[in-house]
Chain A
Amino acid sequence: MTANTESILEVRDLVKHFPLTQGVVVKRQIGAIKAVDGVSFDLHRGETLGIVGESGCGKSTLAKLLMALERPTSGSVRVNGKDIAAAKGGELKRMRRNIQMVMQDPYTSLNPRMTVGDIVGEPFEIHSDVVPKGGRRRRVQELLEVVGLNPDHINRYPHQFSGGQRQRIGIARGLALQPEIIICDEPVSALDVSIQAQVMNLLERLQNEFDLAYIFIAHDLSVVRHISDRVAVMYLGKLVELGSDADIYDSPTHPYTQALLSAVPVPDPEGRETRQRIILQGDPPSPANPPSGCHFRTRCWKAQDICAEQTPALEVRPGSDHPSACHFAEARDVVNAQ
């Protein structure tokens, strides 16, 4: 997983607002859900960028924007220099070949009436020039073998497989068009612990084999640490901190990152009486009406007047070497603090 610095995906000031309307005959817009509210980052060839955040922070909307399944309100998503957010028709179709997705729930993301062969081979129907018709079945069997399934099971249906095996089918479908980027939206959260490890090891092996770049979206911080080279922390539609896995986990500077990390239970009872926890009060505010200035200030113990007046930019601040969106950013090791 040696990541070089060539950017394969450049996201700039990406914004997605879903309008809230009122009235049946005459619709008026009364507001907007600010699901993604100004997100910028780069993804390098062959690396894994983890995106963590709680439910409702906009992670999945971000994934859909990167896939051009949703159109952004503003901003750009450049894949190999071309803006996928502005592409249409045949051009969009060609660009999508390069960026594929693995879904969260292997029980609902596979059509129960299609055989595994049809599911994994469907991308070839859409992009019919990739593999000639006669060779498709063999190609599907190769893909099944790559993800650790028995190629003879090509005619079985999804219900004949376990959760972990179904997730492998989803991964095989994602690999079919030989993309350079795969977006994994909570790929292991529906799986049992012992199966999670199998699927994560598979993803890592495939990355080395095919030089894939992953966007790995998850709410489980331990899983993200394990697989990611860099990690972005998201809160209410904005990135609040971005850095290497060591930056984020060993010296987080944003209070939200610190709270999130200290809430993760460590699987070791040793020293549990003295472990220090930052317990956040309440729930995240609604993205329809986020607080002014810093979105996190309503739950933050460092909040002062400036936080309500000025939105802190995601930038490198003194005393730290990675960008953080906090006026009072200060490194603090919360994971290993005993």
Chain B
Amino acid sequence: MTEVLSEQMGSGSHAGALLEVDNLHVEFRTRAGVAKAVNGVTYSVDAGETLAVLGESGSGKSVTAQTIMGILDMPPGKIAGGEIRFRGVDLLKLPEDQRRKIRGEGISMVFQDALSALNPVFPVGWQIAEMFRMHRGTSRGEAKKKAIELMDRVRIPAAKERVNDFPHQFSGGMRQRIMIAMAIALDPEILIADEPTTALDVTVQAQIMGLLAELQRDSNMGLILITHDLGVVADVADKIAVMYGGRIVENAPVYDLYKNPAHPYSKGLLESIPRVDHKGHELYAIKGLPPNLLEMPTGCAFHPRCPYRRDNCVTDAPPLYTISGTRGSACHYWREVIDDGEH
């Protein structure tokens, strides 16, 4: 796979990380106006690294992922600026046939809802084998054999007997395994997992997260984990990007963020979750509602809900201030937030 890509994209050597999203802007044209779903998102992932993108619904985390994959619906979506560099090459400038090669072989994706992501009228083995037939021109028999191997690798019991079963014949956890098998079929260098365990029970979630970690270790993939679950993130992430209103409001190595958040939103999130390890008293609740993308607040998008708000927050949008080489916070008063204490 590496040779195929480096052939296309010149030499494999380039400065910077494996995948870099640089100042990406995505808008949706709707009848009610322009919704700015992504407003200048920048993040990067390297081989073997796990980046968790944390945010609530509407924060733009999934739209960013869809733009990386090149599966954004356009229109209504529109990329209004920025670059997505994979091995130093801007994907947004590549013609569709080359992007199609990268999809699956370079970067691939696991979706949240496996039941609607799989085709209900084809056997699962056929759907996994399709990856080989389409991308590699493998013969049907050979592709099916590889599909069975993959189903074994993601630990579907009795893979040989189940290869001709349809998606509805599998449980939720097994379906998610099939999605993962399809995503890793062509040994991608980057795997994007968009809420891979949200629809699953905790015991199954633990199985799937374990499987993803193991696959990542084996093939040294870069993993982008998109989620709203602070527990899952704490378990697997190396670094975290917290998104709010289409922007990254804080990025940090995982230990730093949980120990001492530098943005009022991350701090509020950490304080608002109930814990299984102690009971606690009343939960801290971030007041108000997430912003409407059609009418974003002026200045900092978080200011209507923020306990640290001052007058300039309403007028000046904070840049992503650098705290240290690996940390940044988009809050004018990040020093105060950090000083307010460790967790």
- Which residues of chain A have C-beta atoms less than 8 A from B228's C-beta? 192-193
Q: Within residues 253 to 305 of chain A, which ones have a CB less than 8 A from any CB in chain B?
A: 259-261, 263-270, 272, 277, 279-283
Greatest chain A CB density within 10 A among B57, B206, B255, B258 is at: B206
* B122 interfacial by beta-carbon distance below 8 Å: no
Query: Which single member of A249, A260, A279 contacts B207 (CB below 8 Å)?
Result: A279
* A331 interfacial by beta-carbon distance below 8 Å: no
Q: Mark B193-205, 1 if CB is under 8 A from A, else 0.
A: 0000000011111
* A222 interfacial by beta-carbon distance below 8 Å: yes
Greatest chain B CB density within 10 A among A193, A201, A264, A336 is at: A193
- Which residues of chain B have C-beta atoms less than 8 A from A55's C-beta? 172, 201
- What separation, in Å, do the CA atoms of A272 and B334 have in the docked complex? 27
* A223 interfacial by beta-carbon distance below 8 Å: yes
Q: Within residues 258 to 278 of chain B, which ones have a CB less than 8 A from any CB in chain A?
A: 258-259, 268-270, 272-277
Query: Which single member of B204, B205, B209, B269 contacts A283 (CB below 8 Å)?
Result: B204
Given contacts A197-B286, A270-B255, contact A54 B273 (CB under 8 A): no
Query: Which single member of A222, A246, A249, A263 contacts B203 (CB below 8 Å)?
Result: A263
Determine the residue in chain A with the shortest Cβ distance to B253: A269
- Which residues of chain A have C-beta atoms less than 8 A from B277's C-beta? 249, 266, 335-336
* B174 interfacial by beta-carbon distance below 8 Å: yes
* A5 interfacial by beta-carbon distance below 8 Å: no
Q: Within residues 171 to 200 of chain A, which ones have a CB less than 8 A from any CB in chain B?
A: 192-198, 200
Are B269 and A249 in contact, CB atoms less than 8 angstroms apart? Answer: no
Are A194 and B269 in contact, CB atoms less than 8 angstroms apart? Answer: yes
* A245 interfacial by beta-carbon distance below 8 Å: yes
Given contacts A265-B235, A266-B231, contact A226 B283 (CB under 8 A): yes
- Chain B, interface residues (CB within 8 Å), range: 35 or more
- What separation, in Å, do the CA atoms of A283 and B174 have in the docked complex? 9
Query: Which single member of A162, A198, A226, A281 contacts B274 (CB below 8 Å)?
Result: A226
- What separation, in Å, do the CA atoms of A277 and B209 have in the docked complex? 12
* B120 interfacial by beta-carbon distance below 8 Å: no
Are A221 and B276 in contact, CB atoms less than 8 angstroms apart? Answer: yes
- What separation, in Å, do the CA atoms of A36 and B290 have in the docked complex? 39
Are A268 and B258 in contact, CB atoms less than 8 angstroms apart? Answer: yes
Query: Which single member of A164, A226, A261, A266 contacts B279 (CB below 8 Å)?
Result: A226
* B234 interfacial by beta-carbon distance below 8 Å: yes
Q: Mark A129-171, 1 if CB is under 8 A from B, else 0.
A: 0000000000000000000000000000000001011000000
* A12 interfacial by beta-carbon distance below 8 Å: no
* B90 interfacial by beta-carbon distance below 8 Å: no
- Which residues of chain A have C-beta atoms less than 8 A from B259's C-beta? 270
- Which residues of chain B have C-beta atoms less than 8 A from A200's C-beta? 274, 283
Are B282 and A222 in contact, CB atoms less than 8 angstroms apart? Answer: no
- Which residues of chain A have C-beta atoms less than 8 A from B290's C-beta? 162, 192, 194
Q: Mark A47-82, 1 if CB is under 8 A from B, else 0.
A: 000000011000000000000000000000000000
- Which residues of chain A have C-beta atoms less than 8 A from B235's C-beta? 265-266, 269, 272
- What separation, in Å, do the CA atoms of A219 and B204 have in the docked complex? 12
* A10 interfacial by beta-carbon distance below 8 Å: no
Are B275 and A225 in contact, CB atoms less than 8 angstroms apart? Answer: yes
Determine the residue in chain B with the shortest Cβ distance to A259: B203
Q: Could you name 16 residue pairs across A and B whose Cβ atoms are closer than 8 Å?
A: A165-B289, A193-B230, A221-B276, A222-B273, A225-B279, A226-B274, A226-B283, A245-B279, A260-B202, A263-B202, A265-B209, A265-B235, A266-B231, A280-B203, A283-B173, A336-B277
The residues of A with any CB-CB pair to B shorter than 8 Å are 54-55, 162, 164-165, 192-198, 200-201, 204, 219, 221-223, 225-227, 245-246, 249, 259-261, 263-270, 272, 277, 279-283, 335-336
New contact pairs (5) apart from A201-B285, A222-B273, A265-B209, CB-CB < 8 Å: A194-B268, A222-B276, A225-B274, A267-B230, A267-B233
